[in-house]
């Protein structure tokens, strides 16, 4: 899904979890060097928003109070607007969104189930952490898209309003329930690995997999720094 840009100086490697070559042999890659293929980029980003919508709708349905239900319904609306706006971009490119999204469905569905948590609070933190990281990730990646499309995608993904709702609900729950902070801190940490795998899969579409192999840690370092800030804001140790 992502090909390297003009500045690339990347060794051709087959994908693997641990590179066989020593790290110093590998090029370091940051966001400005990534050039995603628009169609799968939009398809994966759109399907991920649909999954956030489903998680938020579940949070609406199981909300313990009407104000929480109300706030989360607005957040669900934001995810749905992002989904439909990304779908509209796919249609502008002349492709059928369902066909483009379908390959991403199984892994994204599993990801949603894995980040749903054991109760409503874990569900909320799961959405907050994973949508925070992935919206930031796709937004940064979009700088490698053709410039007008990239600007539209950033504007779509930057629609706010969800994070504040999730943060408000989580904060008041953490204050009210002793012990919840420790449990949620653990849960938040456990979400990072799966989220980075989804982010990584966005860099490794089948047709460009053989060009994969650079050190993308610099890319992920920014995501993890954002994650830490997000957890700090809730008073949770990341």
The residues that touch a second copy, with contacts defined as CB under 8 A, are 50, 53-54, 57-58, 60-61, 66-67, 69-70, 73-74, 76-77, 80-81, 83-84, 87, 97-98, 101-102, 105
What does the alpha-carbon distance between residue 192 and residue 189 come to, in Å, rounded to a whole number? 6
Read off the tokens for 121: 């609070």
Cα separations in angstroms, 216 against 5, 78, 142, 200, 219: 14, 30, 16, 9, 5
Nearer to a second copy, 43 or 213 (CB): 43
* Shortest Cβ 58–a second copy spacing (Å): 7
Nearer to a second copy, 70 or 217 (CB): 70
* Shortest Cβ 122–a second copy spacing (Å): 18
* Shortest Cβ 62–a second copy spacing (Å): 10
Nearer to a second copy, 68 or 196 (CB): 68
What does the alpha-carbon distance between residue 238 and residue 231 come to, in Å, rounded to a whole number? 6
Nearer to a second copy, 63 or 184 (CB): 63
What does the alpha-carbon distance between residue 211 and residue 204 come to, in Å, rounded to a whole number? 9
* Shortest Cβ 124–a second copy spacing (Å): 16
By DSSP bridging, strand 34-36 and strand 2-4 are antiparallel
* Shortest Cβ 175–a second copy spacing (Å): 21
Nearer to a second copy, 165 or 192 (CB): 165
Is 200 strand, coil or helix? helix
What does the alpha-carbon distance between residue 134 and residue 130 come to, in Å, rounded to a whole number? 6
């Amino acid at each position: 899904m992502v090909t390297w840009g003009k500045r690339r100086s990347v060794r051709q490697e087959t994908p693997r979890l641990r590179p066989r070559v020593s790290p110093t042999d590998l090029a370091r890659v940051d966001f400005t060097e990534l050039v995603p293929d628009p169609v799968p980029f939009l398809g994966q980003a759109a399907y991920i928003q649909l999954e956030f919508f489903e998680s938020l709708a579940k949070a609406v349905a199981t909300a313990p109070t009407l104000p929480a239900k109300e706030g989360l319904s607005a957040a669900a609306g934001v995810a749905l607007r992002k989904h439909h706006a990304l779908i509209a971009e796919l249609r502008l490119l002349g492709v059928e969104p369902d066909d483009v999204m379908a390959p991403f469905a199984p892994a994204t569905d599993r990801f949603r189930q894995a980040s749903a948590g054991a109760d409503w609070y874990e569900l909320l933190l799961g959405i907050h952490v994973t949508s925070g990281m992935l919206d930031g990730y796709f937004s940064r990646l979009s700088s490698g898209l053709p410039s007008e499309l990239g600007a539209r995608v950033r504007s779509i993904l930057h629609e706010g309003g969800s994070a504040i709702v999730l943060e408000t609900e989580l904060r008041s729950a953490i204050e009210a329930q002793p012990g919840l902070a420790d449990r949620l801190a653990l849960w938040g940490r456990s979400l990072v690995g799966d989220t980075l795998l989804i982010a990584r899969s966005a860099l490794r579409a089948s047709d460009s997999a053989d060009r994969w192999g650079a050190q993308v840690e610099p890319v992920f370092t920014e995501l993890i720094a954002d994650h830490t800030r997000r957890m700090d804001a809730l008073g949770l140790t990341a």
